[in-house]
Amino acid sequence: MRKMLALLLVSILLPVLAYADTLTVSTDKATYARGEVMKITAVYKNSSGTPITSPSTREVRIKNPSDTELVQTSMANAGSGVYTYNYTLSTSAPTGTWEVRGKFVYNSTETKTYTYPKVATSTADTTTPVTTASPAAGTYTAAQNVTLTRNETGTTYYTTNGTAPTTSSTVYSAPINIAATTTLKYFSRDTAGNSEAVKTGVYTINTVAKTHDAANASLTWTGYGTCLTCHRTSATEMYQGVHYQWMGSGAKMTTGPAKQGKMDSLDGASALNAYCINVLGGWKACGACHAGTGAKPVATTTPDDAQLASIDCLMCHKNGTIATPYARTRNATTGLFEPNVGVDMNNVVRTVIKPVRNTCLGCHAKAGGGDAVKRGDIALASGTTADANYDVHMATSRGNLTCQACHKFTNHKVAGRGSDLRPLDSTTAVTCSSTTCHPTKNSLTSGHTTTDVNHHIGRVACQTCHLPTYAKNANDTTATEATETNRTWEAYEWNATLLRNEPLPTKANDITPKYAFWNGTSWGNNLTDAAVIDPTTGFYKISRPNGAITDAAGTKLYPFKYKTAQQPLDTTTGKLIGLSTASFFADGNYVTAINTGLANMGRTGDAWKTVTTDELQVLNHQIPPASGNVLPCAACHKNTARINLPAIGYAIKAPLTTICNQCHGVETYLDYKWVHDYHVTGKRYDCSFCHNFSRATERGLSTTK
C-alpha cells in the first residue's frame, strides 16, 4: 500500500519536478552599509530556459535581521525574464543578515527563492583619492593661483619647497599663490585613510620683460641654450634652414638630389666649387663660419634641446657696438666655440639686435678663404665703405641698406640664391623693383630714360646694365677687394697664421663680367658626379646658370663672375676629386692630398690628372650710382668686346637678303636701332621675323605680316 502511494506521489510530482520553473534572486552586493541602495534582481525562466515574461505574481519580500517584514511588493519587469527592485537602507538599518525572498507564480505554479545580504556599519574603502591642480604645471609669465581639487572627502597636503609632503605638511585650504618658479608637491588622503601618491608640478614663472634691454638685469647668460627659453620656435626654424644645415632644397637645381648643399656627403648631394673644392675632410677649417657652436649639424626634423642649443644665435644677432662685443674662440679641450674671456655675456644677450651688414659679411665676404675671394661683388668693405661708386646700396653715404632689406627672411629662411649655390632656403624672390624700391623700373613701356631701354627690362637683368665691372676697390679701405679669378692646387703659398700651405690664387680688380641667360635654375657638378666638359670653354664645368634666349619670359641676361681652377680629376671614374685639404695644408703636397682625397672617396689607387674647372657666379652687388655708370648702348650693341650678342642667340637667322626678302628686298638703313625702331616699335613685328627667338607674347608683337 505504502509502495503504491509512493509511486502515485512520484507519478504526480515527477511531471512537476521534471518541468519546474527556475527563479534566481540576487543583490548587487554581498554587504551593504547603512544608507546604501540594495539593488535586487530576479531572473525567472521555465524549465527549458526560456524567460518567463508575464508571471501572475512577481513578488519580493524583505525582512531585517529581526525577522521584521519591511517590504512585500511587486518587482519591476525589466523584460526578458528579468525583474528588479531597489531598496534604500535607512541610516539606522539594523546590521546583520537580512532576508530577501522572491515569490513568482506562473501557470499556477509558485516558485520561491531566497538570498541573504548583510548590512554592516561600513564597507571597506580601498580607493585612493585623486587630486588635480589647476592651472597645470608649466611656464607662465605672471604669478599663478593654483587650486587643488580632490574627488572625494578628505584632506590635501602640500609643500612648495620641493620636499615630499606628509600628513604633517600644510593643509590645503585655499588657492596657492605662486609668484616665482616653484616646485609644488601635493597629495590627498580620504576619510577611509587611503592616500594617493605624491604628485609634483613645476611652475616656472618668467615675469622678465621680454624686451632685450641693457638695463634688464633679469636677463642673464646661461649658455648657448639661453635663447631657447623664449625663442624655441625661432631656434627650430633656424635649425632647419640652410644657414645651419648647410643643405637645403635642390628645387632650383636641374641636377643632383632633392637636397643639396655644402655639407659633405658621398651621395651626390655635396656641392663642388672651384675654390676649396669640397668640404669633405675640412669641416673644422670651414666650420668656423658655421652658425653653430662647432659641432656638425645633425639633420633631423625633431631636434632636441641639446641640438637646438648648438645654434649660435649670436653669430647673427650680436651687437657690435657695445663695449665688449660678442667674440668666440675654440675651447682647447672640446674644440667647440665658447665666448671669449672678458666678454660680458649678460650684456651681450641683453643687447642683441637684428643682423647688420657687418654681421652677414663677417662670413659671406670671406667665403673661399679670404676677403672678397669668392663672390666678386661683396667684401668686408661692403660693410663699412662710404664709397657710393663701390656699392650705392650699401655705402654708408647712400643706401646703407641691411642685407635683409633685399634678402627677406621668413622664419629664418633667407630669400635669394647665387646661381652657383645649390640649396634654396626660401621661395621668396629677390627683386630690384618692388613697391618700396625702384617701383617704376619694371615696365616694358616706361620708367627708364628711353623707350628702347624700357624694352630691355623683359630680357635683360637690371645688373647687366648697372654693373659695368666687379671686384672694385673701395676708395676708403686699405684692402684692395680683389677677387680670386683662378686657383691652382699644383702650387702653394705659406699661410703663417694657420701654419699651412694653401693653393695659389690669382686675383684681380675691376673685372668685366661674363654674360649668360639665366632662368633661375642651375646646373651643378657635385662630389661623386661624373665631370662634364663645357664645349664652349673647353673646361670641366662646376656650375652653370640654365637659360637660353628662347626660354620663357622671366629668363634674362645676367652678369657673372667667371672663375677657374686647376684641380685633379679621377680618370678612372671621370669624377673630380675632393682632395684632402687637411693633407694639402700640412705640406702643400698636391699628390699626397689627392691620394688622401681618393681614399676618402673610396677610390684608393685610381689614376688621375689635373684639369681646369670653371664656374659662373651671378653678380648682384657693387652697383654704382646709375648716373655716369650705367652701360651705354654701344657697350653691347655693335661691339663684341663686352658681350658677343650674336653668339648668344641674337644673330639674324639667315643672310640679310633672305631676311629682307620676306617683305621687300634689301634696303639701305641707318643702323640697327633704326631697323628695330621701324619694324618692332613701329610695325610691331615680332623678333622671329629676323631672329631665332620670339617675344610675341610678352611684348604683344605680331608674328604675321
Partner 1 sequence: MTSFSTTRIILAVVFLLTVFSNTMVYAAEPSATFTVEIADVGKSKEFKELVTLLEAKGIKTVIPPANIRIVDEQNNCAVWIGKNVPLTALQTVLPEAIRLYPYLKYFYIVGERGEVPPEAFTRTIHIGGSIEAALYKKLNVIDRQEFLKTLAAAKTVAELHKYLLEKNKALKTAPFAEGN
- Provide, rounded to whole angstroms, the least separation between the CB of residue 241 and partner 1: 24
- Provide, rounded to whole angstroms, the least separation between the CB of residue 637 and partner 1: 41
- Provide, rounded to whole angstroms, the least separation between the CB of residue 370 and partner 1: 6
**Rg for the chain, CA atoms, rounded:** 44
Q: Which is nearer to partner 1, 106 or 585 (CB)?
A: 585
Q: Which is nearer to partner 1, 549 or 579 (CB)?
A: 579
Q: Which is nearer to partner 1, 476 or 587 (CB)?
A: 587
DSSP 291-332: SBSSSPPP--SS--HHHHTTB-THHHH--TTSSS---EEE-T
- Provide, rounded to whole angstroms, the least separation between the CB of residue 417 and partner 1: 24
Q: Which is nearer to partner 1, 363 or 631 (CB)?
A: 363
- Provide, rounded to whole angstroms, the least separation between the CB of residue 575 and partner 1: 19
Render the burial of 500-539: b for 16+ CB within 10 Å, e for the rest: bbbbebebeeebebbbbbbbbbbbbbbbbbebeebeeeeb
Render the burial of 170-207: b for 16+ CB within 10 Å, e for the rest: eebeeebebeeebbbbbbbbbebeebbeebebebebee
C-alpha cell at 266: 658621398
Q: Are 703 and 688 in contact (CB under 8 A)?
A: yes
- Provide, rounded to whole angstroms, the least separation between the CB of residue 497 and partner 1: 4
Q: Are 501 and 587 in contact (CB under 8 A)?
A: yes
- Provide, rounded to whole angstroms, the least separation between the CB of residue 375 and partner 1: 14
- Provide, rounded to whole angstroms, the least separation between the CB of residue 341 and partner 1: 6
- The span from the CA of 453 to the CA of 679, in Å, is 17
- Provide, rounded to whole angstroms, the least separation between the CB of residue 342 and partner 1: 8
- Provide, rounded to whole angstroms, the least separation between the CB of residue 507 and partner 1: 13
Task: Compute φ and ψ for 107, nearest 5 degrees.
Answer: 50, 45
Q: Which is nearer to partner 1, 165 or 370 (CB)?
A: 370
DSSP 234-280: HHHHHHHSHHHHSEEE-TTBSSS-SEEESS--SSS-BB--SSS--ST
Residues that bind partner 1 (CB under 8 A): 281-285, 288, 327, 329-336, 340-341, 366, 369-371, 479, 494-501, 580, 582-583, 585-589, 596, 600
- Provide, rounded to whole angstroms, the least separation between the CB of residue 494 and partner 1: 5
- The span from the CA of 331 to the CA of 568, in Å, is 35
- Provide, rounded to whole angstroms, the least separation between the CB of residue 346 and partner 1: 19
- Provide, rounded to whole angstroms, the least separation between the CB of residue 377 and partner 1: 18
Q: Are 365 and 371 in contact (CB under 8 A)?
A: yes
- How many distinct helices (H) and strands (E) make up the chain? 16, 33
Strand bridging mode 182-190 / 199-205: antiparallel
Q: Which is nearer to partner 1, 158 or 585 (CB)?
A: 585
385 alpha carbon, distance to own chain's centre: 36
Q: Which is nearer to partner 1, 230 or 599 (CB)?
A: 599
Q: Which is nearer to partner 1, 559 or 588 (CB)?
A: 588
| C-alpha to C-alpha distances, 2 to 134, 146, 674, nearest whole angstrom | 84, 87, 148
- The span from the CA of 425 to the CA of 415, in Å, is 7
State the SS3 of 484-540.
Answer: EEEEEEEEEEEECCCCEEEEEEEEECCECCEEEEECCCEEECECCCECCECCCCCCE
Q: Are 21 and 44 in contact (CB under 8 A)?
A: yes
Q: Which is nearer to partner 1, 327 or 631 (CB)?
A: 327
Q: Which is nearer to partner 1, 98 or 584 (CB)?
A: 584
Strand bridging mode 118-120 / 31-33: parallel
Q: Which is nearer to partner 1, 372 or 465 (CB)?
A: 372
Strand bridging mode 22-27 / 37-45: antiparallel
**Phi-psi domain of 330 (left: phi exceeds 0; alpha: psi -120 through 50; beta: other):** beta
Q: Which is nearer to partner 1, 339 or 423 (CB)?
A: 339
> How many alpha carbons fall within 13 Å on the CB side of residue 572?
10
Q: Which is nearer to partner 1, 364 or 408 (CB)?
A: 364
In the chain, what's the furthest Cα-to-Cα distance?
156
Q: Are 223 and 395 in contact (CB under 8 A)?
A: no
Task: Compute φ and ψ for 382, nearest 5 degrees.
Answer: -60, -20
Q: Which is nearer to partner 1, 362 or 447 (CB)?
A: 362
- Provide, rounded to whole angstroms, the least separation between the CB of residue 480 and partner 1: 11
Q: Are 666 and 660 in contact (CB under 8 A)?
A: yes
Q: Which is nearer to partner 1, 426 or 583 (CB)?
A: 583
- Provide, rounded to whole angstroms, the least separation between the CB of residue 560 and partner 1: 24
